[in-house]
């Protein structure tokens, strides 16, 4: 093809034409036969020995670029384990094949390379190419700056390009995978059983959140995507399982920002017959163990500073945290109106206009004051009872709940009840209070769940439970300012035809 013809055609059109010409030459653009003997990381790790022994190697990967100089060329090729330079010579591969490669191979194509390890005159470790074979023809080019794609819209919408272009992004998701794997091993080694519960549920329960709704045609019934697995997991504890957990997707029809995505991954766990002190210590051990397994350290860079996950962590009550932050004592604010007046007296810019109920008022006050100021890992104990309809009443304060959350950098990553509510009469009364809030306009209040109440009436033993957000934890330990950076395909606004 002449340069003039190429100039008037799109890159995709040119590549498709190259594919057709390759096929006319009897060269498949999509070969199935691969005979790789080494990955690039192994070659780099044992390079000197391979070079000294003149060991033949055969690699496969994506061509990142090529620099042609008459009868020779240098190029870079990458696989999952790393990247390495190639040296291609016309007198070695043959004039015809060299010409074919130069005319029809583009950056982004996948190649199989047979060769040997050498070091160039400038000291760069390189593979001297003896044979080259096309494995896959890429019909779209890599981003112009494949070494640093920065457009966030493209990065999130086309994560495959992000992974190709930005090695640090790939590493972020490797860390995420290691965290989840380490979590499973930690729990399995301590006798916990992994289970699965429904994602499609007739009643969304286990958290205070607005659900997604869908319709099942065969049943002619509305169903909800789960907002949490809690109620089904507790029913399994009623059934006799004493140590269980689930790692899975949950869905909440809420806003999207740096700390929220409508679908997210959570680990939820229940453990019967364990004391408050033992359970909290167990949670510290769990989190510190999986971070160490994934990163090798507990001192994690974050923003312009760092997070030290070394235990034991600081502890405060919900009430004391707010007092320390803004001087308001929630024990002196027994009504929504009194919370609003106290905030106004302190000139706090909190919008309470769309908030329903005492619990939601406490929550808004806490999030805008105390929680926002917490940077290092801190346990916040004993949230107001109105905020925790599934937790047991605090042993000594009937206005508080037997609950604790781990807060880091102004966000919760561990939400635990050291005493789960197992009194079915109390639970029914709490559900009725939640139902009243729904009737007053709350979109996050919980639903009445008769099947769950029937299970509680069979008897739930003394139990502790916890939920850990995988996305938020990963964001903190990988120095990511947004959950979109640690979710492979975050929820985005659909692209319209316009």
Span 371-411, pLDDT tens digits: 999 999 999 999 999 999 899 999 999 999 999 999 999 99
Average pLDDT on 452-468 reads 98
Element (H, E) at 213: strand 213-216
- Distance between CA atoms of 496 and 498, rounded to whole angstroms? 5
Query: Is residue 96 domain-shared with residue 186, that is, in the same domain?
Result: no
Span 475-488, pLDDT tens digits: 999 999 999 999 99
Query: Is residue 121 domain-shared with residue 206, that is, in the same domain?
Result: no
- The pLDDT of residue 459: 98
371 in a structural domain: no
Spatial neighbors of 19 by CB under 8 A, at least 6 apart, are: 29, 137, 139
Chain mean pLDDT for the chain: 94
Task: Tell me the pLDDT band of 258, cut-offs 50, 70 and 90.
Answer: confident
CATH number at residue 138: 2.40.50.140
Angle between helices 358-368 and 318-326 (to 10 degrees): 50
- The pLDDT of residue 148: 58
Residue 2 has pLDDT above 50, yes or no: no
Span 338-349, pLDDT tens digits: 999 999 999 999
Tokens matching residue 48? 């000197």
Residue after which a domain boundary falls, among 89, 110, 142: 142
Residue 5 has pLDDT above 50, yes or no: no
Domains identified in the chain, total number: 2
Span 70-109, pLDDT tens digits: 899 999 999 999 999 999 999 999 999 999 999 999 999 9
53 in a structural domain: yes
347 in a structural domain: no
Q: Which runs of E-coded beta strand occur in 29-146? A: 57-69, 72-79, 82-89, 110-119, 125-136
Query: Is residue 49 domain-shared with residue 99, that is, in the same domain?
Result: yes
Asked if the bond preceding 312 is cis, omega within 30° of 0, the reply is: yes
Span 214-243, pLDDT tens digits: 999 999 999 999 999 999 999 999 999 999
Task: Using a pLDDT cut of 70, give the percent of the chain over it.
Answer: 97
Tokens matching residue 305? 């500073």
Residue 198 has pLDDT above 50, yes or no: yes
Q: Give the domain extent around 54.
A: 3-142
Residue 7 has pLDDT above 80, yes or no: no
- The pLDDT of residue 498: 59
- The pLDDT of residue 147: 52
Span 30-66, pLDDT tens digits: 999 999 999 999 999 999 999 999 999 999 999 999 9
pLDDT higher for 104 or 258? 104
459 in a structural domain: yes
- The pLDDT of residue 4: 45
Query: Is residue 68 domain-shared with residue 167, that is, in the same domain?
Result: no
Query: Is residue 184 domain-shared with residue 283, that is, in the same domain?
Result: yes
Q: Which of 159-173, 289-303, 331-345 has the lowest mean pLDDT?
A: 159-173
- The pLDDT of residue 153: 85
Query: Is residue 49 domain-shared with residue 125, that is, in the same domain?
Result: yes
Query: Is residue 214 domain-shared with residue 301, that is, in the same domain?
Result: yes
185 in a structural domain: yes
What's the CA angle centered on 417, arms 412 and 423, to 5 degrees? 145
Query: Is residue 288 domain-shared with residue 248, that is, in the same domain?
Result: yes
Query: Is residue 203 domain-shared with residue 235, that is, in the same domain?
Result: yes
Angle between helices 167-189 and 276-295 (to 10 degrees): 140
Tokens matching residue 173? 């998701």
Residue after which a domain boundary falls, among 111, 142, 173: 142
Residue after which a domain boundary falls, among 86, 113, 142: 142
CATH number at residue 190: 3.30.930.10
Query: Is residue 12 domain-shared with residue 102, that is, in the same domain?
Result: yes
- The pLDDT of residue 421: 96
Task: Using a pLDDT cut of 90, give the percent of the chain over it.
Answer: 86
Query: Is residue 204 domain-shared with residue 261, that is, in the same domain?
Result: yes
Residue 8 has pLDDT above 70, yes or no: no
Query: Is residue 104 domain-shared with residue 229, that is, in the same domain?
Result: no
Spatial neighbors of 13 by CB under 8 A, at least 6 apart, are: none
Task: Tell me the pLDDT band of 455, cut-offs 50, 70 and 90.
Answer: very high
Average pLDDT on 462-472 reads 97
Residue 270 has pLDDT above 90, yes or no: yes
360 in a structural domain: no
155 in a structural domain: no
Q: Which residues of 139-151 are buried (b: 16+ CB within 10 A; e: fewer)?
A: beebbeebeebee
What is the edge-to-edge ordering of all strands in the sheet holding 378-381? 193-194, 243-251, 263-272, 463-469, 411-417, 403-408, 378-381, 314-317
């Amino acid at each position: 093809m002449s340069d003039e013809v190429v100039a008037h055609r799109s890159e995709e059109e040119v590549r498709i034409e190259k594919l057709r010409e390759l096929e006319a030459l009897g060269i498949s653009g999509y070969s199935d036969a691969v005979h790789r003997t080494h990955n690039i990381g192994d070659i780099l790790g044992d390079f000197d020995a391979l070079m000294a022994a003149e060991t033949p190697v055969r690699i496969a990967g994506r061509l990142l670029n090529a620099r042609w100089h008459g009868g020779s060329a240098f190029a870079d090729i990458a696989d999952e384990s790393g990247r390495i330079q190639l040296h291609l010579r016309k007198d070695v591969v043959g004039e015809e094949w060299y010409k074919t490669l130069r005319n029809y191979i583009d950056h982004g194509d996948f190649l199989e390379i047979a060769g040997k390890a050498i070091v160039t005159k400038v000291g760069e470790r390189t593979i001297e190419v003896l044979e080259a074979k096309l494995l896959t023809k890429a019909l779209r080019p890599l981003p112009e700056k494949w070494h640093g794609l920065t457009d966030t819209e493209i990065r999130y919408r086309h994560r495959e390009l992000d992974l190709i272009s930005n090695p640090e992004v790939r590493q972020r998701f490797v860390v995420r995978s290691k965290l989840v794997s380490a979590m499973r091993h930690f729990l399995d080694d301590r006798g916990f059983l992994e289970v699965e519960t429904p994602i499609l549920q007739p009643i969304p329960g286990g958290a205070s959140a607005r659900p997604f709704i869908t319709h099942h045609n065969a049943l002619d019934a509305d169903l909800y995507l789960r907002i949490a697995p809690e109620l089904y997991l507790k029913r399994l504890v009623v059934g006799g399982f004493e140590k269980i957990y689930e790692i899975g997707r949950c869905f909440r029809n809420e806003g999207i920002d740096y700390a929220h995505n409508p679908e997210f991954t959570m680990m939820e766990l229940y453990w019967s017959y364990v004391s408050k002190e033992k359970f909290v210590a167990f949670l510290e051990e769990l989190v510190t163990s999986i971070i160490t397994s994934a990163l090798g350290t507990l001192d994690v860079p974050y923003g312009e500073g760092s997070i030290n996950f070394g235990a034991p962590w600081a502890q405060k009550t919900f009430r004391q945290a707010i007092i320390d932050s803004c001087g308001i004592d929630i024990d002196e604010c027994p009504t929504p109106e009194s919370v609003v007046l106290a905030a106004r007296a302190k000139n706090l810019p909190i919008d309470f206009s769309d908030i329903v109920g005492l619990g939601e008022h406490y929550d808004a006050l806490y999030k805008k004051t105390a929680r926002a100021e917490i940077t290092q890992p801190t346990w916040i104990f004993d949230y107001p009872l109105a905020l925790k309809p599934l937790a047991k009443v605090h042993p000594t304060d009937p206005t508080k709940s037997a609950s604790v959350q781990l807060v880091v950098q102004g966000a919760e990553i561990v939400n635990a009840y050291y005493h789960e509510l197992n009194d079915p009469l109390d639970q029914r009364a709490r559900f009725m209070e939640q139902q009243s809030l729904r009737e007053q306009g709350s979109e996050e209040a919980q639903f009445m769940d008769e099947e769950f109440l029937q299970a509680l009436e069979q008897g739930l033993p003394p139990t502790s439970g916890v939920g850990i957000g995988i996305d938020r934890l990963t964001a903190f330990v990988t120095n990511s300012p947004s959950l979109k950076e640690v979710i492979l395909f975050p929820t985005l606004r659909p692209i319209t035809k316009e």
